[in-house]
């Protein structure tokens, strides 16, 4: 089972992510965070295989959380998902250390396969 932390400040979005991962075999959500600070803390204690991270959250946003997540758990794959298009924020997210970027409109179709591909070497 691939262990995943989901981070988004909106409860309905976290529920959708849980559904997307729950529909695909081999995933378990080990934590939900509502801010970048919570995501970093959760990753630091859980050391999941992947974290699905929104960019725009109150307090510390996802962009600032990426390098902190990579510092405390370098093996955790960071999958950014955002309402911003990849053209708007993808390059910056990847430069911060993200392993993949998925636009929110594509998350249901791409998320399970993206995490599986990234974690194949784990």
Question: How many CB atoms sit inside 10 A of residue 119's CB?
Answer: 20
What residue spans define the domains of the chain? 2-119
pTM of the model: 0.91
Question: Band of the pLDDT at 68, cuts 50, 70, 90?
Answer: very high
Residue 122 pLDDT greater than 70, yes or no: no
The pLDDT of residue 87: 83
Give pLDDT tens digits for 18-59.
988 988 889 999 999 999 999 999 999 999 999 999 999 999
Give pLDDT tens digits for 70-103.
999 999 999 999 888 888 899 999 999 999 999 8
Domain 2-119 has CATH 3.40.50.2300: yes
Of residues 83 and 122, which shows the higher confidence score? 83
Average pLDDT, the chain: 92
């Amino acid at each position: 089972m691939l262990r995943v932390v989901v981070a988004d400040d909106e409860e309905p979005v976290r529920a959708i992510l849980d559904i997307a991962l729950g529909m695909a075999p081999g995933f378990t959500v080990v934590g939900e965070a509502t801010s970048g600070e919570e995501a970093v803390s959760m990753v630091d204690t859980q050391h999941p295989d992947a974290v699905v991270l929104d960019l725009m959250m109150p307090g510390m946003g996802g962009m600032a959380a990426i390098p902190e997540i990579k510092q405390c758990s370098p093996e955790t794959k960071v999958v950014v998902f955002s309402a911003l298009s990849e053209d708007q924020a993808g390059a910056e997210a990847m430069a911060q250390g993200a392993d993949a970027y998925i636009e929110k409109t594509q998350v249901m179709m791409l998320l399970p396969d993206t995490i599986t591909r990234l974690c194949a070497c784990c």
